[in-house]
Chain A
């Protein structure tokens, strides 16, 4: 009897506790791997607002190598670290930024999307999103080196779901490490971009 009760309780507990919240686009069909609920944050930031953003150079989907310093004096930069390709929340985050290009243009900003996946994986994955207007960079090798410099590399080897806003002088003006299980709200990022205008 007690054994049966324990079994029932386990099922109920799973039903109550395991309820990842994401709205997945049918664009990905059944190709998304769901890792379930993860520890919200699993790293410690190594940079802070007001710091000079560490420079980096990474290979991009287009074949070019792109450096953060390429945009110095020219564009504000939003870095979007995404944990992993082909996972639920990540797959719907960049298509939103893709649609929201006007907010970036109005605030003289470019986005750099970064994951620790390799280029072929990023190619197949981002093809499902439509044509992205921003560069997608691979921090695959040395694995997660750039994420580690910023302090957003998790112990599992993927990155946090993190956003950094860097102004034209290369100074970090916003650093947000979101709960990995949740997509950061667009309005908050747009407000940070608008703040750059007032500087």
Chain B
């Protein structure tokens, strides 16, 4: 009996190890590191250039060519994300117009539970210019602790490729100027 139970517990632990989404349930905390999230390298050349990535396959967020990466966790189906879309666009526009910040602070969005079709629709609906990624099966959402939306995470990337989470909060951008000030301080 004991042997059977130990074997069963081992199998469960192996499953949890193989599928980290089952065991991760806490949002990234400031001062910690971002869980490993594989995203597909965008096919669009403009996005590849923006993110400093080449070719196909996948990449990890700290591989983005930037000092700070801001990650917007949203959903096409979330009323607050819909309301916040134009504010996020304004923030991105301010970031893009700043010659010092545009190459060092990058913004991406991850649509939790959204298919490619839904992401594309959201992008077109609000004229979003920064790269959006779909998380149709909620696997990234689970890794990130199943946060409510919208949720923003920022990581600071060191010269040696290490990184740490410097911002992790529920809620939208709020005032784009204030958010920009905050982002500059990271």
* A pairs with B: yes
B16 with A15: CB separation less than 8 A? yes
Residues of A within 8 A of B142 (CB): 19, 21
B115 with A186: CB separation less than 8 A? yes
Binds A, one of B40-48, B52-60, B77-85: B77-85
A16 to chain B, nearest CB (A): 5
B137 with A23: CB separation less than 8 A? no
Residues of A within 8 A of B80 (CB): 25-27
Residues of A within 8 A of B121 (CB): 99-100, 186
B125 with A9: CB separation less than 8 A? no
Residues of B within 8 A of A100 (CB): 121
Binds A, one of B1-9, B86-94, B158-166, B173-181: B1-9
Interface check A38, CB cutoff 8 A: no
Interface check A73, CB cutoff 8 A: no
Decide if the interface of chain A is mainly helix, strand, loop or mixed.
Answer: helix
Known: A5-B2, A9-B5. A187 touches B150 (CB 8 A): no
Tell me how many residues of B have a C-beta within 8 Å of chain A. 41
Interface check A151, CB cutoff 8 A: no
A16 with B78: CB separation less than 8 A? no
Contact residues on A (Cβ < 8 Å of other chain), bracket: 20 to 34
Partner of B82, one of A2, A9, A93, A99: A99
A residues in contact (CB < 8 Å) with B: 1-2, 5-6, 8-9, 12-13, 15-16, 19, 21-27, 92-93, 95-96, 98-100, 128-130, 183, 185-187, 190
Of the A-B pairs whose beta carbons lie under 8 Å apart in the complex, a sample of 25, sorted by A's number, is A2-B5, A5-B2, A6-B5, A9-B5, A9-B9, A9-B12, A16-B22, A23-B78, A23-B138, A25-B80, A25-B81, A25-B149, A26-B148, A26-B149, A26-B150, A96-B76, A96-B77, A99-B76, A99-B121, A100-B121, A128-B79, A129-B79, A183-B77, A185-B117, A187-B118
